[in-house]
Amino acid sequence: MSAYIIFNYKILDRIKIEEIRDLITPILEKYETEVIVASPVKAIEGETFPSMVIHKFNSIEDAEHFYYSKEHQEIVAFRKSITEGWATIVPGYVEEGL
């Protein structure tokens, strides 16, 4: 079952945020993920940060391996220094238990 990592954030340093794309691309390729959203956000209910990125993975395990990998954790530290926000891992649609 597919899984997603969702990043929702406010950019604090627009110049440095562009560096992340070059740093993350080889890691995304290694973990065979697909970026399905990378755009500004328009809230229609509640409050949200203005930017969102969503990565699609083949499974929760793949998403966790990517997120907690040493090479990605180096980018996490950099991203946290230039953004404010949150990230979460969620499974794809699960009908069981609804």
Q: What's the pLDDT tens digit per position in 13-53? A: 999 988 998 899 999 999 999 999 999 999 999 999 999 99
Structure confidence by residue, pLDDT tens digits, 65-79: 999 999 999 999 999
Q: What is the per-residue pLDDT for 58?
A: 95
Could you give the C-alpha distances from 41 to 56, 67, 71, 80, 83, in angstroms and in order?
A: 18, 22, 27, 19, 15
Strand residues in the chain grouped as ranges (E): 3-11, 34-40, 51-57, 83-91
pTM of the model: 0.88
